[in-house]
């Protein structure tokens, strides 16, 4: 008989508790091999491609695209012995297969598929094995999934009777539709609760959704110019296309939670400094022409990053965090430098580990890699945690400066504004110079105004005279 193995949602890293199913790369009946791409998930921090943990045949996909699944929950089953005999008794069919057969009205399969075996009962609390097995998340990113019973899957949002359109009570909106039809509805901006079903038993079909979408388009005589934007793709409409509702999830949800927590937990103070950075622009030009830097991208951000690292070395108490539970200030003896990056998924702040140890060339290489991964949505989760101090570069957007909100767990963030040619008094004469504005926000619980001002002044000094870095370095 077939040998069924269940693959559970692994921990993508850094203690995340859930992930969204973005794309399945396989379908039931496909033959798979170990480590071939299985599916793509989106966590609160990044997109992650999961490899297949088994050789065999895909039996069932237990979560649909768009589902939010807890770490440790079963998401797929595999027959790892496809050449084995089919069971002779009436084995239960996997739940998703039952739903599919019921709603499609197709004939039953030649041989029913055995459901994955139930998770074993946990050992008594007094058992030493219990303690060892329950510590940590119990899940791994690559390999054979997680131990049975380590976590429970949350109720699927896109299940056959799940509410649509944000309703909390499924009985209020008893919509029956298959996961592919639900995904089509989200893609087309159709609210399933407004669709008249034509399928058997009140099933909403693909044709029903397409007709509803066409009706919505007809009612919306004026098409909103932004309706084709990527950030609207996961939305739906309740008013004939006049507005789009997008569920808050993944990066946007995480960013919102983090910013609210930071803004209402840490007392923010921001100090500002306008600096003549003409010498920095000259240095950038020289480094771009230097063969030693031919393989990396040199920008003013590289110099301001180095300037901040030097300022932290001179004032290490700025590199700290507040432990509210222990009522302690934690001073970090390392600098994980965060760089705020705008990506298609929202704002991310990946950080360069131990940036204080890097010479200028290696720092430039790390900045380039960090930026490329963020733009490609391939930032690893480990790069998004453990930051100690950050930079937000608003200059490329033409913004002079701002009052940035602290990344949670950090004590300071530097805003680097646009560099512009302006009249400036230099050596007693008014000349056209390159000028920028810097702003440093800090947590006033552990950073006094004097300390924040000194750190910002040091950054400005290095930007105005990069040779000062040789003295401090």
Exactly one of 268, 273, 361, 444 is catalytic; which is it? 444
Pairing of strands 389-393, 412-416: parallel
Q: Is 442 helix (H, G, I), strand (E, B) or coil?
A: strand
Rounded Cα distance between 325 and 332, Å, is 18
Q: Burial code of 371-402, b = ≥16 C-beta within 10 A, e = fewer?
A: bebbeebebebebbbebbbbbbbbbeeeebbb
Q: Is 284 helix (H, G, I), strand (E, B) or coil?
A: helix
Determine the pLDDT at residue 252: 64
Domain boundaries defined on the chain: 4-134, 157-247, 252-472
Rounded Cα distance between 416 and 303, Å, is 11
- Is position 426 annotated as part of the catalytic site? no
The dotted CATH code for 4-134 is 2.40.50.100
Determine the pLDDT at residue 404: 93
Determine the pLDDT at residue 203: 86
One of 3.20.20.70, 3.30.365.10, 2.60.40.1510, 3.30.559.10 is the CATH number of 252-472, namely: 3.30.559.10
Structural class in CATH, domain 157-247: few secondary structures
What is this structure's pTM? 0.57
Per residue in 103-152, pLDDT tens?
344 444 444 444 444 444 444 443 333 333 333 433 334 333 333 333 34
8 A C-beta contact, residue 387 and residue 341: no
The list of the chain residues with pLDDT below 50 reads 86-173, 218-227
Determine the pLDDT at residue 45: 62
Q: Burial code of 245-284, b = ≥16 C-beta within 10 A, e = fewer?
A: bebebbbbebbeebeeebeeebebbbbbbebbbbbbbebb
Task: Tell me, yes or no, if the two domains 4-134 and 252-472 fold the same way.
Answer: no
Q: Please count the helices (runs of H) and the strands (runs of E) in the chain.
A: 10, 21
Rounded Cα distance between 185 and 68, Å, is 17
């Amino acid at each position: 008989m077939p040998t069924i193995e269940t693959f559970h949602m692994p921990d993508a890293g850094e203690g995340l508790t859930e992930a969204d199913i973005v794309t399945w790369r396989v379908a039931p009946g496909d033959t798979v091999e170990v480590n071939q791409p299985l599916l793509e998930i989106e966590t609160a921090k990044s997109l992650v491609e999961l490899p297949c943990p088994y050789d065999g045949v895909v039996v069932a996909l237990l979560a649909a695209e768009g589902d939010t699944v807890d770490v440790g929950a079963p998401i797929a089953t595999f027959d790892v012995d496809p050449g084995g005999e089919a069971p002779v008794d009436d084995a239960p069919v996997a739940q998703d297969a039952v739903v599919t057969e019921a709603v499609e009205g197709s004939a039953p399969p030649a041989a029913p598929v055995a459901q994955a075996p139930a998770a074993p009962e946990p050992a008594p609390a007094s058992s030493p094995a219990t303690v060892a097995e329950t510590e940590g998340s119990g899940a791994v990113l690559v390999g054979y999934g997680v131990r049975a019973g380590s976590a429970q899957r949350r109720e699927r949002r896109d299940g056959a009777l799940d509410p649509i359109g944000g309703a909390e009570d499924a009985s209020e909106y008893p919509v029956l539709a298959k996961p592919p039809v639900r995904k089509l509805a989200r893609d087309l901006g159709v609210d399933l609760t407004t669709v008249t079903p034509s399928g058997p038993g009140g099933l909403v079909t693909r044709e029903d959704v397409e007709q509803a979408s066409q009706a919505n388009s007809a009612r919306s005589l004026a098409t909103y110019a932004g309706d084709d934007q990527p950030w609207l793709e996961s939305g739906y409409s309740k008013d004939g296309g006049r507005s789009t509702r997008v569920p808050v999830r993944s990066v946007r949800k995480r960013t919102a939670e983090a910013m609210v927590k930071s803004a209402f937990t840490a007392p923010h103070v921001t100090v500002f400094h306008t600096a003549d950075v003409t010498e920095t622009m000259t240095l950038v030009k020289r480094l771009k022409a230097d063969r030693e830097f031919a393989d990396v991208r040199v920008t003013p951000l590289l110099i301001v990053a180095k300037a901040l690292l030097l300022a932290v070395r001179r004032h290490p108490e700025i590199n700290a965090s507040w432990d509210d539970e222990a009522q302690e200030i934690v001073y970090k003896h390392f600098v994980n430098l965060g760089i705020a990056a705008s990506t298609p998924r929202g704002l991310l702040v990946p950080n360069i580990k131990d940036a204080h140890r890097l010479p200028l060339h290696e720092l430039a290489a790390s900045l380039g890699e960090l930026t490329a991964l963020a733009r490609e949505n391939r930032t690893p989760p480990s790069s998004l945690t453990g930051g100690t101090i950050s930079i937000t570069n608003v200059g490329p957007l033409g913004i002079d400066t701002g009052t940035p909100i602290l990344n949670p767990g950090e004590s300071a963030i530097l805003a680097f504004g646009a560099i512009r040619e302006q009249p400036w008094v230099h050596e007693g004469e008014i000349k056209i110079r390159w000028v920028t504005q810097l702003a440093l926000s800090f947590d006033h619980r552990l950073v006094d105004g004097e300390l924040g001002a000194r750190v910002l002044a040091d950054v400005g000094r290095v930007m105005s005279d990069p040779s000062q870095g040789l003295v401090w370095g």
